[in-house]
Structure formats: structure tokens, C-alpha cells
Chain A
Amino acid sequence: MYILYIVTGLALVASLAASRQKTLGALRIAVRRFVGILPAFLTMLILVSVVLFLVPDELIAKYLGADAKYVAVLSAAALGSIILMPGFIAFPLAGVLLEKGVLYMVLSAFTTTLMMVGVLTYPVEKAYLGIKVTIIRNAVSFFIALVIAIVTGIFFGEVFG
């Protein structure tokens, strides 16, 4: 995280040294772009706050720990697609679930769709990509997540067995 601040700071200083005018132009673009997407960001935040309340950790643990492992993989992928969590919440949760005996491939399906498939990022994504392409990209990502989960399962000997 600090690297981001250092890089941004250095880039700003370098830009200022090169041209004050152009730096102001860059900041103007930054503000305009941010304001343009702000409503979609807010919509996303509202959806996230409600869905995280409706889908508590216990519910996630219940579905990911299902006895039928392919049911668990699919529900993990479905839950991961619906939910959006910051990494600092998602990975510790996944770590706890792993200790509880949840399979690697289930956690793989969950974390990959969590990051890659976004029902809740839909308002933001739609604003840039349009409705059709947003749906295609998310559908493709869902299948990629399943493939990654299966490969993970094969590696950890969870697929056959």
C-alpha cells in the first residue's frame, strides 16, 4: 500500500517539476474521471453493504463446508460471484475455513470468483464496458474460476477420492 503512495507522490513531483500546466491538466482529468464514475461507485458500495449483511460468514461456512464436494464447489462459486469483499476480510476467512476442513478446490472457487466475477461491481463495470460485454466477461470469468478450482482439486488430490 505504501508503495502506491510513494509512486504516486514521486510521479506527481516529477510531473510538477516538468510542467506545472500539464500537472494541473492531469489533476483535472483525474477529478473529472472520478466524478464520472462516482455514482456507480456509490451504488456498488450500497449493494456491498447490504449483501455482506444478508450473507454472514456463518452462511458462507455452511455452504462451503457442504458434504457433497461438487455441490460445495458450485455454491462456493455462486457465493463468490455474488459477494464482494476486501481481501483483508476474504483471505483470513478463507484461512479459517481451511482449518475447519473446507477443501482447497472449494476455497479456490470461492476466492477466484470473489475477485473476478462481480455481480456487485456490475454498476461500475457496465458504465465502462456496456451491459452485453459485462455479462459475457463475467460468464467467461465464472468458467475460468471453475477450471482453476478443478486444477487446484487435482493437485491437492481432492477431485478423485
Chain B
Amino acid sequence: MRRNRIIRITLLSGYALFIVLSWVLGFEPGKEVSQNFATFAIDMLKIVPCAFILIGLFEIWINKETVERHLGEESGLMGYLWAVLLAGTTVGGVYIAFPVAYALHSKGAKLGVIFTYIGTSAICRIPMAVFESSFLGIQFTIIRLLVSPPLVIITSKILGDYLTKRNYKLKQPS
């Protein structure tokens, strides 16, 4: 753990130094890298604060029993369908799905549902699908929206059942 932290701090400060020097010395590739960083960071900042506030509210207000009943071990196929619907309303990249998945998991959602949520929130988000179809056509988007959920659900169920037997748990990064 300690060694990881040292590596991380070295990487971060090395990167920061590289960016500062690039701007001072007018090194174009370095400038471009920092602009990429800014573009992506701004895109994340538009979503991340809201996402974590909603996660916090979810942890405080939502009953464990409610989540267990609809997304837990006894939820059957409906649990998977809820996961797809929930994913459909998600915004942001898959990196937002992981903290949400952890929150669901800690409230008793089963692993198959968790993996279904992660997978479909990557490719079946409705706001994104609308945007996508305006560039690639509605047929392209509909094919993906129809083909992907069954594939994601089946593989998630297999992976989830396998890992549940092995007592696997998601981790909370600290």
C-alpha cells in the first residue's frame, strides 16, 4: 500500500512538472496532452459531484430491504431488468457506474445484477443513445440496444453466480 502511494505521488508530480515545463518552454505535445486532460476533467466535473451526492443520499435514505427485495438474491429475472432500466438513465462514462455499483452492492444487490448494471450503463444509456443515433443513424443504435442487454445479462449472471459461490465482495477504495 505504502509503495503504491509513493509510485502514485511520483507519477502525479512528474506529470505536473512535465505539463508546467511544456507550457514554459512551449513544447507543443505537452501542451496538447494538458488540453486533453482539461477536456476530459471538465467533462467529468459536470457529472461526478452530482453522482456522488446522489450516492450519499441513496446510502442514507434507501432501505436495505427494498434493494434486497428488488435487486437481491431473491429478485430473479426482474432484478436484471431493473438493472438495465437503471443503467438506461445513467449519465457519464463507465467510471461513474463503479461507485454506483458499489453502493448498490453494499445495500444487498446481487453480483449478477451489479455486473449487468455496469455493462449496460456502458452501452445502453438512453441520453447517449439518442446522441449516438444522430450521428450513426437510428438503426445502428437500435441494433445495439436490442442485442446487448441479453448478452450482458447472461454473461453477468454466469460471472455473478460463480463469484457468489466464492464469496467475492466489491471493495470500497480508501
A37 and B102 CA atoms in complex are apart in Å by: 12
Asked if B6 is at the interface (CB within 8 A of a chain A CB), the reply is: no
A78 at the interface (CB under 8 A from B): no
Q: Does A26 contact B15, Cβ atoms closer than 8 Å?
A: no
Bound-complex Cα distance A9 to B12 (A): 34
**B24, chain A: closest CB distance, angstroms:** 18
Q: Which residue of A lies closest to B16 (CB)?
A: A46
Q: Are B37 and A48 in contact (CB under 8 A)?
A: yes
CA distance A119 to B76 in the complex (A): 32
Partner of A40, one of B32, B39, B40, B173: B173
Question: CA–CA, A137 to B98, complex, Å?
Answer: 12
For B163, give the chain A residue with the smallest CB separation.
Answer: A133
Find A104's partner among B44, B55, B118, B140 (CB 8 Å cutoff).
B140
- A27 and chain B: residue at smallest CB distance: B56
- Which among A11, A34, A49, A50 is the interface contact of B57 at CB below 8 angstroms? A11
Give A37 to B48 CA distance when docked, in angstroms: 11
What is the interface size of chain A, counting residues whose CB is below 8 A from a CB of the partner? 72
Measured between beta carbons, the chain B residues less than 8 angstroms from A125 are 94-95, 98
Given contacts A4-B91, A29-B59, A129-B170, contact A91 B136 (CB under 8 A): yes
**Chain A residues with CB under 8 A of B15:** 46
Q: Does A86 contact B (CB under 8 A)?
A: yes
Tell me which of A33, A41, A50, A86 contacts B56 (CB under 8 A): A33
B55 pairs with A43, CB closer than 8 A: no
Is B77 interfacial (CB-CB < 8 Å)?
A: no
Q: Which residues of chain A come closer than 8 Å to B135, judged between CB atoms?
A: 91-92, 94-95, 98
State A104–B142 Cα separation when bound (angstroms): 13
Of B32, B40, B41, B115, which is in contact with the most chain A CB atoms at under 10 Å from its CB? B40
Q: A30-B52, A94-B132, A116-B119 are in contact. List 19 more A-B contacts (CB 8 A).
A: A12-B53, A29-B56, A34-B48, A36-B174, A39-B8, A43-B11, A45-B44, A52-B40, A53-B36, A89-B39, A94-B135, A95-B135, A95-B136, A115-B93, A127-B171, A127-B173, A128-B172, A129-B171, A152-B140
Chain B positions near chain A (C-beta within 8 angstroms) = 8, 11-12, 15, 29, 32-34, 36-37, 39-41, 43-44, 46-50, 52-57, 59-61, 91, 93-95, 98-99, 101-102, 115, 118-119, 122-123, 127-128, 131-132, 134-136, 139-140, 143-144, 147-148, 151-152, 155, 159, 163, 168, 170-174
